[in-house]
Structure 1
Amino acid sequence: MVKEGPVPGARERITLPADVVGRAGNLPPHCTRHGRPASRRKDFALQSTVRLRGNRLLSGNVLSQADRLAQHGSKVKVTDVKGWPLCPLCVRTRAVWMTLASALLFGGLLAFLGALVVGAFTEGASWLAAVAAIGFVLLPVSALPLSRGAMSRVIGARTSPDGQSVIVDKPSAAFVADLPQPPTG
């Protein structure tokens, strides 16, 4: 079996200017992760990672949390991406993770609320507490597949801290070869 994707000696990281990825048709016809021909192109927005000052443990009150949210909102940068190439494997991977996240979220919500409603109208149904607890646990667990299905995770890209470029980690050789101009990084 031939391993597709990053090849030995290939670049570990490339940087694409935001104005290039922000216009449809500027990106190669190959997937960044696997190098396969794109079967779909996707428009989305990438957010920069933000480092906040202060200690989360010491700022547990509402006003401190509001300050942290304001800090986050003022520091986060968003880069719009138009027409990013996705191969069938990337499309399928994203669909599987998002379907799993939806099933866990809505299944957990249904189990939790259903157990509460049924328990309100029946007596002696102690097993409903277990159903409600399982549903309650499934709600935050649904965040794990949701993060795995995020576009940035699927394509292996993120935006720079200043929002002026998109950084692609371990791009496929086919993607790099078809770029219109040499990338920096």
Structure 2
Amino acid sequence: MSDQPTDTGAPQGNGDGTAQQPQSPSMRILGQFIRDLSFENIVVQKGASGEMQPDVQVQVNLDAKKRSTENQYEVVTTFKIESKSKGSEAPLFLLELEYGGIFQVENVPDNQLHPFLLIECPRMLFPFVRRIVSDVTRDGGFPPLNLDNVDFVALYRQELIRRAQEEQAAKAQADA
């Protein structure tokens, strides 16, 4: 037998007889709110009638910012939903919703915080957004609109690509 210590891969003690475990990331929703909501029933305003087949376009924007309290962040999802009649392109309704949440986020490494805030937090808010959109469209005189799931990972990647392209264009313009 050797008197050499062996590394078993187990967590080492911190001197008081307890093992030191790495802290796992945690997130709590402290509050949710509607910052802005607008619904325009254009069909009723213009007095249009007849059979209409809607074509729905959904745009999603995300924003996150640190709050003054430690480990608290405000994340806002903005949805712009336009419905037009197929064929005639006549507008049917316009719904704009800014829905936010206040999150307590702990033990997330700094290099992973940005994607965490813009992917995981909106994912937690989305079921509430879906319900609001469904209720508002139904109460506005249309069949309830049940939004498809949003791929927040793809949305985040698209935003990174867009920002990189803007930076390249700005750099190219500065060099010219």
- With the shorter chain as reference, the TM-score category is under 0.3
Higher normalized strand content (fraction of residues): 2
Normalising by structure 2, report the TM-score: 0.26
Larger Rg: 2
Higher normalized helix content (fraction of residues): 1
Higher relative contact order (CA 8 A, sep 6+): 1
